Amino acid sequence: MIPLQITLKNFLSYRETSLDFRGLHTACICGSNGAGKSSLLEAITWVVWGKTRAATEDDVIHNGAKNVRVDFEFICNNQTYRVIRSRPRGRSGSLEFQIATESGRFRSLTAKGIKATQTEIIACLKLDYDTFINSAYLRQGRADEFMLRRPSDRKQVLADLLKLDRYEELASKAKDSVKEYKGRVEQLEQSVTPLLAEIAQRKVVSQELQKLELQVASLQENQNSDRKQLQQLQTIDHQRQAIEQQFTWQQNQHQNLIKDCDRLIIEINSLEQQQQQLTQLLEQEASIVQGYQQLLTWQQSEKDFAHKFSRYQQLEKQKQLLNQQLLKQKNELNLEIKQTQTRLENIEQQEQEIQDILSRSGEITTALEKLDRSRRQLKELDKRQQYVSPLLQRKNNLQTEIAKEKANLTAKLDQLQISVYQLENEISQVPQMRNAVLTVDAQIGELDKKKTYQKRLEEKGLEKRSCQERLQENQRNYEKQWQELQQKLEMLSVPDAVCPLCEQGLEEHHRYHVVNKTQQQQESVKEQIWIIRERLATCEKELQVYRQEYRAISQDLHEYNNLRQRLGHLEAQLEATEDTYEKLEAAEQEKNRLELSLSSGNYAQELQIYLQQLNEELQILEYDEQTHALVRGEVDRWRWAEIKQAKIEDARKRQAKLSSQKPQLIAKISTLETATERLAIDSEIQQQINQIEDKINSLGYEQSQHQHILDSLRQAQSWHLQYQQLQQAQQQYPQLETKKQELNNLLQLRTQDKVTSQEQLDNYLAQREQVVDYRNEIQTLEQQITQRRYQLDDLISRSGSLKESLVQIDKLTDQHKEIEQQLKDTKKKYRIYQELAQAFGKNGIQALTIENILPQLEAETNQILARLTGNQFHVQFLTQKATKGTSKKKTKLIDTLDILIADAQGTRPYETYSGGEAFRINFSIRLALAKLLAQRSGTSLQMLIVDEGFGTQDPEGCNRLIASINAIASDFACILAVTHMSQFKEAFQTRIEVFKGDKGSVLKVNN
């Protein structure tokens, strides 16, 4: 990747800037610390891979800006590309990937979605983010990362850089496959033994089947003989049943005629009774009419009295209203008299209170003098308080802040104590967690085996279910054939039967032959049905066994996913407890420091000193807040005197006013009492009441007479009902007479039918006595046939079971061969995955890869180091070393990755070299690693960015480093060095200077 141009808008410290890399071969990016040098390089990684050192995606946006955008053009494989990445604040961003055409325009290569477009970019560059920052981009603080690791850890760092972890994933998958195939081998070996035992039973089953077939043939012969005799007897019995049915029907008809005659007689008697009741009612016609006329007369008299009663109620209501108005006026006058008397009593009471107030005038004068002295003293203390109050406020604030600081320290100490307890508790649970991980892992292994066996059970169940469906289909076909044969036999059992095929008459001999042949076919079909039923029963039993085992295993596997989650949770907890010991030690140290501070009072020292100065200043002012409060209390105590003095003046004014009101109230009471006495004698309302009473007397209404008429009406109401019944009787009597005549005619017809039915019933009874009853013989034959059928069913069932067993044994033989072949193939795959697990492991391909890459790394490192040090240093990588031997044990080689550094004085440790020397060694190894990583990713390292510590170099080291960069410049298309040292940047002809202004970072290119 060769950069051409980059444009930044609102990225980190840059507002809007652009940098053209065309013509820049070896350049220095310089500027003060924090100016934005590294931010320019971070823009390249962000636009191409979407990754930076920022914690969140919105952190790359310039402060105050709403969005960010970076455009980057570069050359890769002689083709020009452009990547544009943008992002609004708080929302998802966008990514565009374009390629330059021959016309100079760009054509889009953007895929559907940011993730797919990112994949296209990485495929084009053949370089991902991790490889880039470990090869082309030497970032700050990472030059000595490889050297500072322990020898035993350097191989892991190198493996991470080479991305050998994918081989670890393959090794893990291979190990999982080894476990899986090992379980399958054990399952297959266990399933072979019961198969051999069942196959050995074939000879015994065959012999038993032959015996059962002979017994079935003998029973079937006897069964056919009994069935022929049964058919003859059943024909005779059918005739007897027909006569019995006709006799029963005729008997039911005769019983129905008897019931109809009885019902008609009952209805005729009922009509005669109704006629008698109506005759009695018609004989009382004269008395009922007379009583009804008297009822009408009383109803007219009641109407007249009702009209008088209505007028009487109206007058009484008017009288009550006038009485209420008269009473209301009397009450109003009485109320006004009482109110006036109450006012008079209040005036007399007020005069007494005024005399009591005026009698305390001397006491109030003395209290006013004391109040004046207390107020003068309070005014003096208030002036002094104005100077003291701010000091007291500051004192209270200081005391509050000191208490708050102490509370914060106490709360922090409490939290640390809780943390120490929790960390100690976590450490104590580590052994239990390790045991739990082992236990859960073992449980998961057992469930994996059951899961494999459950899959095998499911396959067997599907096979058995398919067999069951085929048997059910065959059973339906045979049952259909049996029904057809049964219909054929029924057609042949009828006298004068015809041939079912040609529809011509059959002689007795031919009919017997056809019936016999059809019965044999029917028995053969029925035998096949019973055989199929037995096989179906066997299949169902085996399916039931499979279902029970499947449900049992499913119940056991119910906790499988929970166990997997628990294992992952436990492993994560174990990893999280690795740094618990360091946290515990730091927490205990902080807790001891806080306890010492609280016990000695060594906290908030400045606040405590200021508080002491305030206390001294308050003592000088001699202000006592308690004395101030007492004086304020005295003022409040004698303030009542002012109120009492005002009351005395007010009482004198009120006394004069009350003296003028009292005679007026006495005269008003006398006038109201006179008006009340005259109201009940000659008022207008009283005159109206007298007139209404005269009208009531002239009306002539007597309530007792009205009540007598109402009682007579209630007693005569029954005449109205009797009159209605009389009218109904006059209408119903002719109708009942007609209905009675119709019923008599119908009774005569039913009596004649009953005699005829009795004669037919006697005739059928004579025919029934002449027919012979063979039901006992038929029942005996049916019982014999049924019992023999059960015996045949049992024998056929056992025979079918044995045949099914033979078929099953043959299938088990084939299954045994299949299992043997599966066992052979599984063992082969088990060995293959064992070898793959070893090959993909750390001692396999990973170790060989490192062994092959180290000579190239060593040669490349020494070539670069020779340029930097003038051939004064040499680096050697050792992958194995011998342990120190003792008298009891032999020496042996162990894996390591030691780096031996030799100079003119010999070989010595890396830590003994100066900072400048160490940097040159680190830089050489780091640059050599970068070249190798780029080669392994499938691309050439055309761009190099050095963002490392040139400040550790002396002038001669800087010159050598610059010379080394110039020496390797021919290997790269673009080299960018980042520094803030003025003497270093002067060594570069091309400089990209970065300045920090008010509007963000600014670039300036000097050639």
- pLDDT over 80 (residue 154): no
Q: Please report the pLDDT score of residue 291 as a whole number.
A: 77
Q: Please report the pLDDT score of residue 86 as a whole number.
A: 93
- Which tens digit of pLDDT belongs to each residue from 835-845? 888 887 777 77
| Averaged pLDDT for residues 798-809 | 79
* 705 plus 735 within the same structural domain: no
pLDDT band at 97 (very low <50, low <70, confident <90, very high): very high
- Centre a 10 Å sphere on the Cβ of residue 231 and count the other Cβ atoms it contains: 14
Amino acid identity at 370: K
Q: How far is CA 601 from CA 604, 665, 995, in A?
A: 9, 84, 50
Place of tokens 């007379």: 290
- pLDDT over 90 (residue 212): no
Q: Please report the pLDDT score of residue 886 as a whole number.
A: 44
Return the DSSP state at 883.
P
Q: Please report the pLDDT score of residue 117 as a whole number.
A: 93
Q: Please report the pLDDT score of residue 364 as a whole number.
A: 74
| Averaged pLDDT for residues 574-584 | 68
| Averaged pLDDT for residues 226-248 | 78
- Which tens digit of pLDDT belongs to each residue from 352-369? 777 776 676 777 777 777
CB 573 within 8 A of CB 473: no
Query: Can you tell me the distance from the alpha carbon of 327 to that of 676, in angstroms, rounded to the nearest whole number?
Result: 11
Residue 931 lies in a domain: no
Q: How far is CA 726 from CA 274, 291, 716, 717, 730, in A?
A: 14, 13, 16, 15, 6
- Which tens digit of pLDDT belongs to each residue from 366-418? 777 777 777 777 777 777 777 777 777 777 777 778 777 877 788 787 777 77
Query: Can you tell me the distance from the alpha carbon of 109 to that of 125, in angstroms, rounded to the nearest whole number?
Result: 14
- Reduced to 3 states (helix: H, G, I; strand: E, B; else coil), residue 88 is strand
User: For 688, left (φ over 0), alpha (ψ -120 to 50), or beta?
Assistant: alpha
Q: What are phi and psi of 993, to 5 degrees?
A: -90, 135
Task: Give the distance, in angstroms, between the CA of residue 524 and the centroid of all CA atoms in the same chain.
Answer: 63
Residue 779 lies in a domain: yes
Q: How far is CA 508 from CA 56, 493, 513, 517, 519, in A?
A: 106, 11, 9, 14, 16
* 303 plus 257 within the same structural domain: no
- pLDDT over 90 (residue 741): no
Residue 334 lies in a domain: yes
| Tokens of residue 271, six digits | 């009509």
Q: Please report the pLDDT score of residue 73 as a whole number.
A: 93
Range of 828's domain?
Answer: 188-276+716-837
Return the DSSP state at 548.
H
* 736 plus 807 within the same structural domain: yes
- pLDDT over 80 (residue 112): yes
Residue 790 lies in a domain: yes
Return the DSSP state at 892.
-
* 342 plus 251 within the same structural domain: no
pLDDT band at 739 (very low <50, low <70, confident <90, very high): confident
Strands 26-30 and 974-979 turn out to be: parallel
- pLDDT over 80 (residue 717): no
Q: Please report the pLDDT score of residue 36 as a whole number.
A: 83
Q: Please report the pLDDT score of residue 509 as a whole number.
A: 60
| Tokens of residue 535, six digits | 């096989």
Residue 898 lies in a domain: no
Residue 490 belongs to a domain with what CATH number? 1.10.287.510
Query: Can you tell me the distance from the alpha carbon of 422 to that of 52, in angstroms, rounded to the nearest whole number?
Result: 36
Query: Can you tell me the distance from the alpha carbon of 725 to that of 719, in angstroms, rounded to the nearest whole number?
Result: 10
- Measured at the CA of 426, the angle between CA 422 and CA 430, to 5 degrees, comes to 170
Query: Can you tell me the distance from the alpha carbon of 36 to that of 62, in angstroms, rounded to the nearest whole number?
Result: 12
- Reduced to 3 states (helix: H, G, I; strand: E, B; else coil), residue 169 is helix
Length of the chain: 1007
Residue 60 belongs to a domain with what CATH number? 3.40.50.300
| HEC secondary structure over 415-429 | HHHHHHHHHHHHHHC
- Reduced to 3 states (helix: H, G, I; strand: E, B; else coil), residue 128 is coil
* 517 plus 502 within the same structural domain: yes
Tell me the CB-side half-sphere exposure of residue 170, using CA atoms within 13 A. Answer: 17
Q: Please report the pLDDT score of residue 882 as a whole number.
A: 64
- pLDDT over 80 (residue 826): yes
Name which of 72-81, 608-617, 618-627, 681-690 the model is least confident about.
618-627
Give the closest residue to 514 by CA, choosing from 538, 535, 498, 534: 498
- Which tens digit of pLDDT belongs to each residue from 16-50? 899 888 888 888 888 887 788 888 888 988 999 99
Q: Which residue has the higher pLDDT, 86 or 637?
A: 86
- Reduced to 3 states (helix: H, G, I; strand: E, B; else coil), residue 996 is strand
DSSP string, 914-962: -HHHHHHHHHHHHHHHHHHHHHHTTS---EEEE-S-GGG--HHHHHHHH
Query: Can you tell me the distance from the alpha carbon of 41 to that of 1003, in angstroms, rounded to the nearest whole number?
Result: 13
Give the closest residue to 360 by CA, choosing from 651, 2, 156, 70: 651
- pLDDT over 80 (residue 832): yes
Q: Give the residue from 779, 814, 837 where a domain finishes.
A: 837
Give the closest residue to 846 by CA, choosing from 156, 3, 291: 156
CB 457 within 8 A of CB 553: yes
* 33 plus 115 within the same structural domain: yes
| Averaged pLDDT for residues 659-671 | 76
* 522 plus 471 within the same structural domain: yes
- Which tens digit of pLDDT belongs to each residue from 853-873? 778 878 878 887 777 777 778
- pLDDT over 50 (residue 903): yes
- Which tens digit of pLDDT belongs to each residue from 426-480? 777 777 777 787 888 778 878 877 777 777 778 778 877 888 888 888 888 888 8
- pLDDT over 50 (residue 752): yes
| Tokens of residue 904, six digits | 């003119």
Q: Give the residue from 837, 857, 879 where a domain finishes.
A: 837
Query: Can you tell me the distance from the alpha carbon of 70 to that of 3, in angstroms, rounded to the nearest whole number?
Result: 14
Q: Please report the pLDDT score of residue 888 as a whole number.
A: 47
* 270 plus 303 within the same structural domain: no
- Which tens digit of pLDDT belongs to each residue from 503-558? 555 566 666 677 778 778 878 888 888 888 878 888 888 888 878 888 888 887 77
| Averaged pLDDT for residues 63-91 | 90
- Centre a 10 Å sphere on the Cβ of residue 586 and count the other Cβ atoms it contains: 13
- Reduced to 3 states (helix: H, G, I; strand: E, B; else coil), residue 842 is coil
Exposed, middle or buried: residue 507 (CB in 10 Å: 0-12, 13-18, 19+)? exposed
Q: Give the residue from 806, 837, 868 where a domain finishes.
A: 837
Mean pLDDT of the chain: 78
Q: Please report the pLDDT score of residue 71 as a whole number.
A: 94
* 701 plus 743 within the same structural domain: no
* 793 plus 762 within the same structural domain: yes
Q: How far is CA 490 from CA 494, 518, 777, in A?
A: 7, 11, 22
CB neighbours of 802 closer than 8 A, spacing ≥ 6?
205, 208, 209, 212
CB neighbours of 971 closer than 8 A, spacing ≥ 6?
941
CB 924 within 8 A of CB 861: yes
Residue 232 lies in a domain: yes
- Reduced to 3 states (helix: H, G, I; strand: E, B; else coil), residue 496 is coil
| Averaged pLDDT for residues 258-262 | 84
Residue 883 lies in a domain: no
Query: Can you tell me the distance from the alpha carbon of 91 to that of 20, in angstroms, rounded to the nearest whole number?
Result: 30
Query: Can you tell me the distance from the alpha carbon of 437 to that of 396, in angstroms, rounded to the nearest whole number?
Result: 59
* 664 plus 746 within the same structural domain: no
- Reduced to 3 states (helix: H, G, I; strand: E, B; else coil), residue 340 is helix
- Which tens digit of pLDDT belongs to each residue from 774-801? 778 878 888 888 887 878 778 777 777 7
> E strand or H helix at 241, and its extent?
helix 202-283
Q: Please report the pLDDT score of residue 887 as a whole number.
A: 45
Please name every residue paired with 576 in a beta bridge, in sequence order, or none if there are none: none
Amino acid identity at 941: L
* 569 plus 491 within the same structural domain: yes
Return the DSSP state at 57.
G
- Which tens digit of pLDDT belongs to each residue from 673-707? 777 777 766 777 777 777 777 777 777 767 777 77
pLDDT band at 804 (very low <50, low <70, confident <90, very high): confident
> E strand or H helix at 178, and its extent?
helix 165-199
Give the closest residue to 968 by CA, choosing from 916, 939, 934, 927: 927
- Reduced to 3 states (helix: H, G, I; strand: E, B; else coil), residue 622 is coil
| Tokens of residue 892, six digits | 């042996």
The number of domains in the chain is 4
- pLDDT over 80 (residue 131): no
Residue 284 lies in a domain: no
- pLDDT over 70 (residue 142): no
CB 800 within 8 A of CB 216: no
Task: Give the distance, in angstroms, between the CA of residue 297 and the centroid of all CA atoms in the same chain.
Answer: 89
